[in-house]
Amino acid sequence: MVQSTPSFTSESLAALKQRYAAANQSQVFKYFDDLSDDKAAALFEQLSEIDVERCNEFFERTTRTPAAQKEGSSKIEPLPSASFASTLGSGNAADIAKWSEEGMRLIRENKVAVILLAGGQGSRLGSSEPKGCYDIGLPSHKCLFELQAQRIRRLQQLAVSGEQQTITIPWLVMTSGPTSAATQRKFAESDYFGFKKEDVFFFNQGVLPCFGLDGKIILENPGKVAVAPDGNGGIYEALRISGALDWLRERGVEHIHSHCVDNCLVRVADPVFVGYAALRGAECGALVVPKKAWNEPVGVICLRDGEHGVVEYSEISEEMAKMTRDGTSELAYNAGNICNHYYSLDFLQKRVPEIEARLEHHIARKKIKCVDLETGEQLSPTKPNGIKLERFVFDVFPFVQRMAILEVDRKDQFSPLKNAPGTGVDCPETSRSDLIAQCIRFAEAAGATVQVIDGQEPSFEISPLVSYAGEGLESLRGKTLAADQQITSIDDVVTV
């Protein structure tokens, strides 16, 4: 029962109730008068922060003509070969060098920043911590945050030229409600992984209320509305309302690399990708990897009604999935999407706000814990009882005027961490194995031999602070290296 002095007035409560009643959502106040002061104040605050009219509009527009239904009637075509470039093969070394040089120039001029999508928890991995805190089992036991931080720091070192003293790649970290506090605590405890605190900007992914199948906002319990993250496409609004874009503008940043935290091979602030996109004058860009096979369950970037977009594997028929490009064995629908993007700051700050109003939400039918409004009983449904609305980061692609798509080698840049230990696919063991294999390739490319014993899993790790992408290892030429070691200094390696 609400007693004593609440943190709201009777007038403000009446106004809020009237607003929700007008939106046909008055059920959220069903148990309000029975709540304790603290819980009533918390619910009042939560309801005040929800734009109920806008959320109703999202629900009605999305369920009236779901995005999936619209997409199902679209004309889907593969990317024309001339519409993207590739780092694969031996005939494009000059282009790669040109792109890298441009990317390094932009980094040297402090015009490049990184956005890390780190809102996910490690629940599937058996961890209650943010996924970025996860240790994939490397000899160093570095977590994903630390690996990626050290790659940025190495790149800053590589970009230094002449008398220049300071090069900074600002690091923006998008968290979610469940991961925000734990992520910021991890950064603080780790001394920001070698960054200056003022060069790291945390911001939260947005949330939307969950709806019942009847369009009513769901109460998770008598004093709380059920909410869910608004999808990784919520990054655009979150960047704007957090002040992150203004912060970047003040620092002179013009180019942004964005990626997910769960890829241990990501080349953070990749100068090749950034340089390629910048030289094309792109508003937005995407890295893609060739599919492992025609039936690999991965979304691909293609053309939908003549505009760039991502189609899920379930949207493509077997016949389409097996199509090859004329005169080759290469799959036509082969541009595997890995959620690794480039943006110009002008695009995010000037064009995206107008684009957002035209973006559709996607429907995810989920089992949502709730309170039965008839009995007051707490329910844990065994089948989907509600709808979560979300946007995807690639929903802006059809509106991009100048797109830059670059194909890269999967083994060099993509090893996602999605599944529980022991799964055998996209799990901690495959992430560890892929990163160690890359370190061995770096050493071998420099002219060294890594003595791997048949039947034994090597534990060979080169710190990102020593080499970002295989550079700086020339002194290893002609040496035979022990397969079980961490190379943290090029002057301190174990040979056999």
> Which residue intervals of 133-179 are DSSP H helices?
144-159
- Whether the per-residue pLDDT at 2 is higher than 50: the answer is no
- Whether the per-residue pLDDT at 67 is higher than 70: the answer is no
pLDDT digits over 296-336, tens only?
989 999 999 999 999 988 888 999 999 999 888 999 999 99
Q: Model confidence at 4, in pLDDT bands (50, 70, 90)?
A: very low
pLDDT digits over 325-339, tens only?
988 899 999 999 999
**E strands in 391-491:** 403-407, 449-451, 459-462, 480-482, 484-487
Cα–Cα distance for residue pair 5/28, rounded to 1 Å: 22
Indicate the average pLDDT of the chain.
93
Distances (CA, A) of 458 to 461, 482, 486: 9, 9, 11
| Both tokens assigned to 330 | 């290469």
Q: Which pLDDT score, from 0 to 100, does residue 430 have? A: 97
Q: Which residues partner with 484 through β-bridges?
A: 459
Q: Which pLDDT score, from 0 to 100, does residue 65 have? A: 67
pTM to 2 decimal places:
0.92
Cα–Cα distance for residue pair 237/49, rounded to 1 Å: 15
Mean local confidence (pLDDT), 10-30: 97
Three-class secondary structure of residue 132 per DSSP: helix
Q: Which pLDDT score, from 0 to 100, does residue 66 have? A: 57
Cα–Cα distance for residue pair 63/389, rounded to 1 Å: 10
Q: DSSP characters for 349-399?
A: IIIHHHHHTTPPPEEEEE---EE-TTT--EE--SS--EEEEE--GGGGGGG
Q: Which pLDDT score, from 0 to 100, does residue 341 have? A: 98
Q: Which pLDDT score, from 0 to 100, does residue 72 have? A: 56
pLDDT digits over 445-485, tens only?
999 999 988 878 899 999 999 999 999 999 999 999 999 99
Q: Which residues partner with 404 through β-bridges?
A: 285
Lowest mean pLDDT among 55-69, 72-86, 154-168, 432-446: 55-69
Least Cα distance to 23 among 50, 62, 63 occurs for 50
- Whether the per-residue pLDDT at 164 is higher than 80: the answer is no
Sequence-distant (6+) residues with CB within 8 A of 173 are 115, 116, 118, 183, 187, 200, 201, 202, 203
Q: Which residue has the tokens 């007008």?
A: 22
pLDDT digits over 109-119, tens only?
999 999 999 99
Cα–Cα distance for residue pair 253/172, rounded to 1 Å: 12
Q: Which pLDDT score, from 0 to 100, does residue 81 have? A: 86
Three-class secondary structure of residue 431 per DSSP: helix
Give one word for 332, left, alpha or beta, with left for phi > 0 and alpha for psi -120 to 50: alpha
